[in-house]
Amino acid sequence: AQKITQTQPGMFVQEKEAVTLDCTYDTSDQSYGLFWYKQPSSGEMIFLIYQGSYDEQNATEGRYSLNFQKARKSANLVISASQLGDSAMYFCAMRDSPGGLTFGKGTHLIIQP
């Protein structure tokens, strides 16, 4: 079974609208961390936001927020007031044991003017 599932291969959104990118995860561990990374067409991986499994509040970083629903095992990324520069691949990732991250397949977001 996949540990990280991103069900939206691609999304088109109008500029200035809010965007929600879906992510569900699967783990039996109680302690884990969830991450979102952005990969623009230039290829670099840019860290956006982190949510710990014990964090009671949803994480926020500027225009990015993470809608964390632990019981549903979902960690959706919300981008408010989307901009053209937000067009990129977005990856959800999890770490539930010491070591590397497990990534989802990604969502290709295109912001239209």
Partner 1 sequence: DAGVIQSPRHEVTEMGQEVTLRCKPISGHNSLFWYRQTMMRGLELLIYFNNNVPIDDSGMPEDRFSAKMPNASFSTLKIQPSEPRDSAVYFCASSPIAGVGSYEQYFGPGTRLTVT
Binding site for partner 1 (CB under 8 A): 29, 31-33, 35, 37, 43-45, 47, 50, 52, 91, 93, 95-106
| Beta carbon nearer to partner 1, 82 or 92 | 92
CB of 68 to partner 1, least distance (A): 13
| Beta carbon nearer to partner 1, 82 or 93 | 93
Gap between the Cα atoms of 31 and 111, Å rounded: 35
| Beta carbon nearer to partner 1, 44 or 113 | 44
CB of 16 to partner 1, least distance (A): 29
4-5 and 24-25: which strand pairing? antiparallel
64 CA to centre of own chain: 9
CB of 79 to partner 1, least distance (A): 19
Identity of the residue numbered 109: L
Gap between the Cα atoms of 4 and 69, Å rounded: 14
Gap between the Cα atoms of 23 and 90, Å rounded: 10
| Beta carbon nearer to partner 1, 53 or 67 | 53
What radius of gyration do the chain's Cα atoms show? Answer: 13
